[in-house]
Amino acid sequence: MGLRLPMPTHPESRTISNPLTHPPRLPLVAPSILAADYARLGEECRSALEAGGDLLHYDVMDGHLVPNLALGVDMLASLKADLPEAFFDVHLMIERPDLFAKPFADAGAGHLTFHIEAIDGDNARALIDTIHDLGMSVGLAIDGPTPIEQADNLLAHVDLVLVMAIRAGFAGQAFDPAALDKIRYVRERVPATTRIEVDGGVGPGQASALLRAGADVLAAASAVFRVSPDQRASVITQLRGLEHQ
């Protein structure tokens, strides 16, 4: 991947730096819009960024890999048109993620994470190359019940490892502390430039343990969006580990 010079397919992607590969600071906080008010989604995205969110986590679900439906390609294109400076971290919880790499690149995704449970090893390697060739960074997600060792052969090839601290599918579930051991396992095996994102049940109360374990991107839906907009900056500051409750 080091010698590739990918050409982003979405015009705005060419001008926006990727905070996952070129972080302006660490840790990064990624508000997950799954728990936003969908009737006012553009406004909600803007609120989360103005409150200090570094990038927006965008959950896509197909009702097959996970038992829920969420967000799609056209919604992302509309949000990107409304917020051209926003960086979208797209988390694909779908079967056949290979079919959607180009559509999400064209819609304005800057990063694409797919699930290890959705694809076998050889096809995963090919998909990683495809996503890089489309100009996006690549993440590999490991669902809560999946043993972390299944990711061993792919860790060296991705820009980000997404450790789920819940079973993927819904916002608002309780954080499973088993994620801390998984994060430590990954951090011992990847270079410091590989991001480790944690997703699911993440709130200010978990931040310091997660950061100490080696996570450097915190995705949070309920903690950011199920509080009033004037509380979001404080929540994001606490997630960054600068203040603790």
Interacting residues with ligand DX5 (CB under 6 A)? 32, 34-35, 57, 59, 91, 93, 166, 168-169, 171-173, 199-202, 219-223
Exposed, middle or buried: residue 122 (CB in 10 Å: 0-12, 13-18, 19+)? exposed
Phi, psi of 112 (to 5 degrees): -130, 125
CB of 61 to ligand DX5, least distance (A): 7
Q: Which of 89, 143, 199, 216 is catalytic?
A: 199
Q: Which stretch binds Zn ion (CB under 5 A): 60-68, 80-88, 101-109, 193-201?
A: 193-201
CB of 18 to ligand DX5, least distance (A): 19
Convert residues 89-108 into a mask of x (bound to Zn ion by CB under 5 A) and - (unbound): --x-----------------
Say what angle helices 232-239 and 41-50 make with each other, to 10 degrees. 50
Q: Which is nearer to ligand DX5, 168 or 236 (CB)?
A: 168
> Active-site residue 199, yes or no?
yes
Residue 194 near residue 216 (C-beta atoms within 8 A): no
> Active-site residue 37, yes or no?
no
Residue 80 interface partner, choices Zn ion, ligand DX5, none, CB cut-off 5-8 Å depending on type? none
Which letter does DSSP use for residue 174 in this model?
P
- Rounded Cα–Cα distance for residues 49 and 225 (Å): 12
- Could you say which of 44, 54, 59, 216 contacts Zn ion (CB under 5 A)? 59
- Rounded Cα–Cα distance for residues 100 and 106 (Å): 10
Q: Which of 59, 62, 143, 216 is catalytic?
A: 59
- Rounded Cα–Cα distance for residues 186 and 133 (Å): 25
- Rounded Cα–Cα distance for residues 163 and 148 (Å): 9
List the structure tokens of 44: 């909600």
Residue 179 near residue 143 (C-beta atoms within 8 A): no
CB of 59 to ligand DX5, least distance (A): 5
Residue 139 interface partner, choices ligand DX5, Zn ion, none, CB cut-off 5-8 Å depending on type? none
Active site residues: 59, 199
Binding-site ranges for Zn ion (CB under 5 A): 59, 91, 199
